[in-house]
Structure 1
Amino acid sequence: MLHNRKAEEGLHMIRKHSLMVFFIVFLTGCAGSENESETIYVAAASDLYHALTDIGDAFTEETGIIVEFTYGSTGLLTQQIQEGAPFDLFAAAHESYIDQLIEGNAVFEDSKAYYGIGRIAAVSSGGQEIVMDKDYLLSDEVKLITIANPEHAPYGKAAKETLESWGIWDDIQPKLVFGENIRQSYQYVESGNADAGIIALALMNETNLHFDLIEEHTHETILQALGIPVQTEKRELSEQFADFILSRTGQDILIEYGFDLP
Structure 2
Amino acid sequence: MQEILTLVQSPEAWVALVTLVVMEVVLGIDNLIFISILTNKLPGTHRVKARRIGIGLALIMRLALLGTIAWIVQLTRPVFEAFGHGFSWKDMILIAGGLFLVWKATKEIHHSVDPKDHAEDFIATSAINSFTAAIGQILLLDLVFSVDSIITAVGMTPHLPIMVAAVVIAVTVMLLAATPLANFIERNPTIVMLALAFLLMIGTTLIAEGMGFHVPKGYIYAAMAFSALVEGLNIMARNARLRKQRAENVH
- Pick the TM interval, shorter chain: under 0.3
TM-score (norm 2): 0.26
Q: Greater relative contact order: 1 or 2 (C-alpha under 8 angstroms, separation 6 or more)? A: 2
Q: Which one has the bigger helix percentage?
A: 2
TM-score normalized with structure 1 length: 0.25
